[in-house]
Amino acid sequence: MAELVREREIAPGDNDGLPVTTAADVDRINRALAAWRNRFGSLRLHKAFFRCEWPCSRRHYETVRYAATARWVADQEKRGFVLRSKVHVNTKRRQPAHGYSGDFASGVLLDQVEIPIRAFFEKLDPKPMRIEIALAPN
């Protein structure tokens, strides 16, 4: 039989200082979220990264960018999402790429960068589905 967790006792000094979130903050956040839903409806912002050698020629970058975004959009379409905006690529926010091995060990790859991309997608048939996630090759 499972036991109920007892209520945590508030120690002296736990409630000192300014509150983290006030009722006014919650109301403001709820109004902002309601405005978002009214404006965009069922659109969802999806974000991803792609890797590219850096520095590289413009032609090579464009080839890698096009292939990565096409692969990402195709994967989102397999999951039931439809692209509803242009794909935004932000090269100014690029960061060093990491070579992940296992669960936690990684090292910085000095010859590659990760570049963020984002786009609005819409889920036309919002039902539960099972998704197989492809693992990256080593």
pLDDT at site 64? 95
The span from the CA of 5 to the CA of 7, in Å, is 7
Smallest Cα–Cα separation from 136: which of 106, 110, 92?
Answer: 106
Mean of pLDDT values over 56-85: 93
pLDDT at site 62? 95
Q: What is the pLDDT of residues 102-125, one digit of tens each?
A: 566 677 888 899 999 999 999 877
Domain ranges of the chain: 44-123
Structure tokens at 110: 């000095």
**Confidence (pTM):** 0.65
